[in-house]
Amino acid sequence: MPIKTTSTTSKLPDAVEEFRQSCGDLEPRVVIYFASPQYDPAALSEQMQAAFPSAALAGCTTAGEICGSKLLTKSVVAMFLDQEVVEDAACVVVEQVQGEPHYGEALWQVAAHFKTPLPALDLRKHVGVVLIDGLSGGEERLMEKIGGLTDLSFVGGSAGDDREFRTTQVAANGKAYTNAAVLLVLRLPHGFDILKTQSFRGTGKALVANAVDEAHRKVIQFNHRPALEAYAEAVGVPSAQAAALFMRHPLGLMVQGEPYVRSPHRVEDGSILFFCQIKEGVELQVLDATDIVTDTRTALEAKKRELGKITGLIDFQCFLRTLQLRDENQCDPYGEIFSGIPTVGFSTYGEAFLGHINQTSTMLLFR
């Protein structure tokens, strides 16, 4: 098989040896893995690179893992892609994403690897995977800079740490990093597609961010009133009860009727801190949760009809979606959606596609 996926809960180094043996005769051009933070990120990256020395390797820590039709915890999951799927790959690291990261230099390294200027790369066959330290707060700037420097599509997610919110790490080519992002650019001879799906509908209730602290992802005022007070009124509850509705009623930046979700995180002195930045003056709409399983199944079935066949899939799923699936006892029905498709993924601290978003699944589909 040109794409193989597998998972393990074994400790190091046995976990890596299991991966090596499971590949058999497959010689992967690319290895992508997602690991519970109970695995030492540096040791895992080093051992994975030693086991697959000729592969471009990228990974990160998680808030839950996905493999095949299972939503897992305390595991490592991996996808192995051979040259039939990935003709070539460039893997670069952007360090100091909270400081002065060298985005241009990283993308120059990509161009040098492919021996082709970025504007000359075939956008139908080249796609980027982005993994970033999920506690860095650097996702918006990273995606803005990438979008300003190249027309390549990037999709991915922010590393997690099982909801401890202490430290998250990314890995590439035998090393692990904090305060960094990994950019993995793939040349796919058969092409690709990207699917963004979220399970919310607009309510028509608008909130305009009049006063914000972008650096801390804080909204101080909505509609010229304290943010919490305005939000609570919009969802129809007293301010003291509003935080309990954050997961089911986040806010959405509406683009042609499509919500790009901004999820509230917590309350601070009448202000609301979010999991992503909200710019001053932006109008958002209160959203109402719908059914994740039904919506995801519908979206993926539509892509299957459009593409004819999906040979593999990486699912970057917000950890808040995973929490909702657990709360509703829907993890197994969700996993069954991907039955028959080689699938890996992880529960993220934010999703990347045309920016930084929340409570969404962004999926890379291999054709």
Domain count, the chain: 2
Whether residue 125 contacts residue 191, with contact meaning beta carbons closer than 8 Å, is answered with yes
Distances in Å between the Cα of 5 and the Cα atoms of 66, 80, 108, 175 are 10, 6, 31, 22
Last residue of a domain, one of 289, 323, 358: 289
Q: Which of 137, 85, 169, 200 is nearest to 346 (CA)?
A: 169
Domain co-membership, 48 together with 166: yes
Summarised one tens digit per residue, pLDDT across range 148-179 is 999 999 999 999 999 999 999 999 989 999 99
Q: What gap in Å lies between CA 322 and CA 36, rounded to an integer?
A: 15
Residues 72 and 11 in one domain: yes
| The domain boundary residue, chosen from 234, 262, 289 | 289
- Percent of the chain whose pLDDT exceeds 90: 94
Residue 257: pLDDT band by 50, 70, 90 thresholds?
A: confident
Per-residue pLDDT tens for 262-303? 999 999 999 999 999 999 999 999 999 999 999 999 999 999
**Looking at the structure, do residues 181 and 60 belong to the same domain, yes or no?**
yes
What pLDDT sits at residue 125? Answer: 97
Domain match, 99 and 248 both: no
Domain boundary among 255, 289, 323: 289
Clarify whether residues 134 and 279 are in a common domain. no
Residues 181, 224 within the same domain: no
Q: Are residues 224 and 174 in the same domain?
A: no
CA dihedral (220, 225, 231, 232) in degrees, to 10, reads: 120
Residue 24 has pLDDT above 90, yes or no: no
Please indicate, yes or no, whether residues 134 and 241 belong to a single structural domain of this protein.
Answer: no
pLDDT at 353: 95
Mean confidence (pLDDT) of the chain: 96
pLDDT at 193 over 80: yes
pLDDT given at position 133: 97
Q: What is the domain range of residue 264?
A: 200-289
The mean per-residue pLDDT over the stretch 100-128 comes to: 93
pTM of the model: 0.94
Same-domain check for residues 42 and 172? yes
Q: What pLDDT does residue 1 have?
A: 66
What is the DSSP code string of 271-332? Answer: EEEESS---TT-EEEEEEE--HHHHHHHHHHHHHHHHS---EEEEEEEHHHHHHHHHTT-HH
| Cβ(288)–Cβ(248) below 8 Å | yes
Mean pLDDT of all residues in 239-261: 95
Token digits for 144? 């803005």
Is residue 174 located within the same domain as residue 136? Answer: yes
Amino acid sitting at position 331: C
Check if the beta carbon of residue 103 is closer than 8 Å to that of residue 145.
yes
Same domain flag for 163 and 307: yes
pLDDT tens, 88-102?
Answer: 999 999 999 988 888
Residue 324 has pLDDT above 90, yes or no: yes
What pLDDT score does 311 carry?
Answer: 96
Tell me: do 153 and 244 sit in the same domain: no
Q: Which of 318, 252, 321, 317 has its CA nearest to residue 291?
A: 321
Q: Place 23 in a pLDDT band, splitting at 50, 70 and 90.
A: very high
CA distance 18 to 49: 14
Read off the DSSP letter of residue 11: P
